[in-house]
Each structure stands twice: as C-alpha cells, then as structure tokens.
C-alpha cells in the first residue's frame, strides 16, 4: 500500500518542479574572466541548450594559445540537457501531486545522481578544453594548461577565472534542497515540521539574491581610490559611481573623472550612474535624475567644479548664492 506524503512535502515538490522548469530557459553556470586589458571582464554563460556571453571574444583569445573554440553544436549535452531537466521537473511534479514516500526517495536519489554526473561531465569538458592544445599555436607556455576551475577561482596567466552557478544553477540547487527538506519531513529527520511557506520564503530570498543587480557601494573617505585619476577620496561630497551591465562597480572622486573614464572605455556598457548628494552625508543618488550646479567657485577634487543635488529647490538655493544656474544630466553630457 502506498504511503501518502504530507501536504507540506507535496508543496515543496511542486515548487521544486517549477524551479527546474525555469532553469531550462535561464543560464545555469557562468565563467568570468578578469584581466587588466578587459577592465569589465569577460563572461561565458552556459545555458541548458546554448552558450551565451562573450563567446566570440573568448574564442578569439583562445585561438592564440591553441585552445578549442566554443560552439554549441559541438556539445551533445545541449541537445540532451533540456529534456533531462524537463524529465526531472515532471517527475517532481508527479511526486508532488500523487506520489508516495517511495517515489519521493527514488526521485531525490535519482536527482542527486544526475547532479553528480552533470558535474563530473562538466569537469571532464573543462579538462579537455584546458589540456588539449594546438601544438602550432602562436603562444605556447611549456607545461601550461588552461583548465578553468570547476567552482571558485583560478589564475590562468594574466586572467583570473571565476566559475560559479548562475540563476538556473541556483534554481537547480534550490530544487534539490527543497526536495531534501521534503525527504527529511517524511522520514522524521527533523525534530520539528518545517512549514512550507518558511522553506519557500528562504528559497525565494536565495533566488532573488542570485539574480538581483548589484547595489551601489558607499564611498569610503581617505580609503577608496578614484578609478580614473587614482587619487584617494579627499572630499566625499563630489564622489561618483557607476555600475556596468555586468555588475562591476567603479568609483570616482569627481564627476569629471567618471565622465573621462566612461569615454575612454567605450566598449563598457554602463547600466547605472550615481553621484553623491552635495548636501547629504555620503548619500549616493541617481545621477540621471539629479540637479547640477556648475561654477568655477565650486572647488571639486579634479576641477569638475560641479555639485549635485537630489532636490531641484536645493540646487536652486545653492546656485542663487553666487548667481549660478542649475543643469540636468542631459545638459552636462
């Protein structure tokens, strides 16, 4: 006779199935490369069915050191993986709707085995990718291999390589953890029953933290250095900051430094611009919505001579003290 599982476990399994279903369509893993010649870094995103990110640039660099070029059609995994993940999503959904304890434990064990096999296959691919080098490459470093890390950081010549889960990977991990919680509930491994809403809340926070964009970082007086002029912050009132579409943060001690830096790095795509409120206590505000006062008597660190304000009336009051005028973001750019 089938042993029914609790309502809590059914909800956890259904949520796990939904997470796996979503993971098919978003990047599962990413490898980030940092080097001095690429201040924003390069990124390789691995979906269940394709490669994304800076694939063409990475392939161009790999050519010089004899590494294989990356093409989705060369990987059978991209053909099979969407179906395999969908199968496990369906299996968890069925387990959650009408499965018993035996089906639950079978689903969990099968999912763990699949996860182990997937990581072993990923390591095998990285090993072949980093070791099978063209002996006729333009650049050959004797004894050097370029295998990226399975997870974490590894230095590869002048590149720092980071290998970490992406949104789909965290959803995949979350599905496994929720299924484990369901198993623990059904087999009495927990002293107290875990409420499904508590488990789902924790997972939601995990998912949001993994995909949320990076927030601005407060500027540290007499500690942070300007990305452009390399000067340490001396007057925090004029500090500025920008964040790229890849989430990289750059800090500046003057608006003029931020503008010069972005102009000299025209391949970099800026997602958000911030400027310190002149009247605030190290408060970064949206630079595109700020009000600006430009005047030669405003002595900023690198002669930008511009003060920013969150409120128009504050800018007008400040400008009136020396018969100045206020400007918008569009007008100063």
pLDDT digits (tens, 9 = 90+) for 101-121: 899 999 999 999 999 999 999
Do 7 and 32 form a contact (C-beta atoms < 8 A)?
Answer: no
pLDDT exceeding 90 applies to what percent of the chain? 44
Beta carbons within 10 angstroms of residue 40's beta carbon:
18
Q: How confident is the model at residue 145 (pLDDT cuts 50, 70, 90)?
A: confident
Is the confidence at residue 275, as pLDDT, over 80?
yes
Beta carbons within 10 angstroms of residue 276's beta carbon:
28
Ranking 21-30, 37-46, 256-265, 291-300 by mean pLDDT, the lowest is: 37-46
Do 291 and 312 form a contact (C-beta atoms < 8 A)?
Answer: yes
Is the confidence at residue 197, as pLDDT, over 70?
no
Q: Is 189 helix (H, G, I), strand (E, B) or coil?
A: coil
Cα 74 off chain centre by: 26
DSSP per-residue string spanning 120-173: HHHHHHHHHHHH---TT-S---TT---PPPSSEEEEETTEEEEEEE-HHHHHHH
Is the confidence at residue 222, as pLDDT, over 90?
no
Q: Is 40 helix (H, G, I), strand (E, B) or coil?
A: strand
Question: In the block, which residue shows the tokens 């279903």?
Answer: 21
79 Cβ contact list (under 8 Å, min separation 6): 49
Structure tokens at 30: 């990413």
Cα 113 off chain centre by: 27
Q: How confident is the model at residue 195 (pLDDT cuts 50, 70, 90)?
A: low
Average confidence (pLDDT) over 315-330:
88
**Per-residue model confidence (pLDDT) at position 223:** 86
Average confidence (pLDDT) over 254-260:
92
Parallel, antiparallel or unpaired: strands 291-294 and 284-286: unpaired
Q: How high is the mean pLDDT of the chain?
A: 86
**Per-residue model confidence (pLDDT) at position 49:** 94
Q: How confident is the model at residue 206 (pLDDT cuts 50, 70, 90)?
A: low
Statement: the pTM of the whole predicted model exceeds 0.75: no
Beta carbons within 10 angstroms of residue 76's beta carbon:
8
Structure tokens at 85: 């993940």
Give the Å distances, CA to CA, from 320 to 279, 300, 313, 331: 15, 19, 10, 19
Is the confidence at residue 205, as pLDDT, over 60?
no
Average confidence (pLDDT) over 270-296:
92
pLDDT exceeding 70 applies to what percent of the chain? 92
Q: pLDDT: is 203 or 7 the higher one?
A: 7
Sign of CA dihedral 253, 257, 258, 259: positive
Q: How confident is the model at residue 217 (pLDDT cuts 50, 70, 90)?
A: confident
Is the confidence at residue 36, as pLDDT, over 80?
no
**Per-residue model confidence (pLDDT) at position 198:** 56
φ and ψ of 34, to 5 deg: -115, 135
Average confidence (pLDDT) over 28-46:
85
Distance (Å, whole) CA 229 – CA 226? 6
Distance (Å, whole) CA 238 – CA 219? 10
């Amino acid at each position: 006779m089938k042993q029914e599982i609790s309502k809590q476990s059914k909800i956890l399994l259904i949520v796990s199935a939904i997470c796996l279903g979503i993971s098919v369509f978003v990047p599962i893993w990413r490898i980030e490369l940092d080097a001095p010649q690429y201040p924003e870094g390069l990124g390789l995103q691995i979906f269940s069915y394709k490669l994304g990110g800076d694939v063409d640039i990475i392939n161009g660099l790999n050519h010089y050191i004899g590494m294989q070029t990356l093409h989705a059609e060369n990987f059978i995994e991209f053909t099979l993986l969407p179906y395999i993940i969908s199968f496990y999503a369906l299996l968890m959904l069925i387990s959650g709707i009408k499965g018993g304890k035996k089906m639950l434990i079978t689903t969990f064990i099968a999912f763990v085995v699949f996860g182990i096999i997937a990581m072993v296959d990923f390591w095998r691919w990285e090993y072949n990718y980093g070791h099978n080098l063209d002996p006729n490459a333009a650049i050959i470093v004797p004894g050097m291999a370029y295998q990226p890390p399975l997870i974490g950081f590894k230095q590869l010549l002048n590149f720092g390589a980071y290998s970490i889960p992406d949104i789909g990977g965290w959803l995949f991990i979350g599905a496994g953890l929720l299924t484990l919680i369901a198993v623990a509930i059904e087999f009495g491994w927990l002293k107290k029953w875990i409420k499904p809403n508590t488990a789902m809340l924790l997972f939601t926070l995990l998912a949001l933290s993994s995909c949320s964009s990076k927030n601005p970082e407060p500027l540290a007086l007499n500690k942070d250095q300007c990305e452009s002029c390399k000067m340490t912050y001396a007057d925090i009132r004029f500090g500025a900051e920008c964040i790229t579409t890849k989430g990289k943060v750059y800090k500046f001690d003057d608006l003029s430094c931020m503008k010069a830096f972005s102009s000299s790095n025209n391949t970099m795509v800026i997602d958000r611009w911030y400027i310190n409120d002149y009247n605030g206590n190290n408060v970064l505000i949206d630079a595109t919505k700020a009000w600006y006062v430009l005047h030669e008597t405003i002595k900023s660190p690198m002669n930008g001579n511009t003060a920013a304000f969150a409120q128009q009336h504050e800018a007008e009051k400040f400008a009136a003290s020396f018969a100045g005028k206020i400007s918008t973001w569009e007008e100063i750019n």
